[in-house]
Amino acid sequence: MAASHTDMPVDPSDQLGESLSLDQAATHVLEECRMVLPGIQALFGFQLIAVFNTTFHDRLTAAEHRLHLVAILCVVAAIGLVLAPAAIHRATPRSVSERFVTVSSRLLMASLAPLALGTALDVYLVARLILDDRWASVTVALLALAFFAIAWVALPSRLGGHRPRRHS
């Protein structure tokens, strides 16, 4: 079966060459956004609750309070990027374009950077409370950031990524 120019592969490394229509690809990327969002929202909720905890105020410095605010803003940015494809989909006519799928995929991928940074900053703060050692806490946070870079960037790139290919 020959693929049309509007079909996109399910997985570019797939040797069978199975492909998705634009409608299926759009549905797929929107579902990915829906799957990621609850976890980000839960993290955001915990971040907001933390500031009302006396330990937060008693054991962290003013600079670390501001660092937590930066972490919250990073997660807010990730939420905005993850929700953007749904907002774009609702604001545009019901027809789906390859551009929509590409932009939506890029927005979802872009959300990973602020999510990783915000999470790593909060890992630093939690480690700081538990370990009571700034340098050990920085090390733990950097390890978390490195893990995200490997799991979310290096590994997918090594496995072929998720970039849609056009079939002609």
Residue 94 is given by DSSP the state S
In a domain? residue 167 = no
Provide the number of structural domains found in the chain.
1
In a domain? residue 131 = yes
Asked whether the predicted pLDDT for residue 14 surpasses 50, the reply is: no
In a domain? residue 166 = no
The residues with which 20 forms a beta bridge, in sequence order, are: 8
In a domain? residue 143 = yes
Q: What residue numbers bound the domain in which 152 lies?
A: 17-158
Residue 9 is given by DSSP the state E
In a domain? residue 128 = yes
pLDDT value at residue 66: 97
pLDDT, tens digit, for every residue of 60-119? 999 999 999 999 999 999 999 999 888 888 887 666 788 888 888 899 999 999 999 999
pLDDT, tens digit, for every residue of 17-26? 467 787 787 7
Contacts made by residues 66-73, CB under 8 angstroms, sequence distance 24+: 67/121, 67/124, 67/125, 68/121, 68/122, 68/125, 70/118, 70/121, 71/47, 71/117, 71/118, 71/119, 71/121, 71/122, 71/125, 72/44, 72/47, 72/48, 72/118, 73/118
The residues with which 8 forms a beta bridge, in sequence order, are: 20
In a domain? residue 6 = no
The pair of structure tokens assigned to 86 is 């749904």
Q: Which amino acid is at 107?
A: L
The pair of structure tokens assigned to 80 is 């905005």
In a domain? residue 125 = yes
Furthest CA-CA distance within the chain: 66
In a domain? residue 46 = yes
Question: N- to C-terminal Cα distance for the chain?
Answer: 13
pLDDT value at residue 23: 75
30-48 b/e with 16+ CB inside 10 Å = b? bebbeebbeebeebbeebe
The pair of structure tokens assigned to 17 is 């060459």
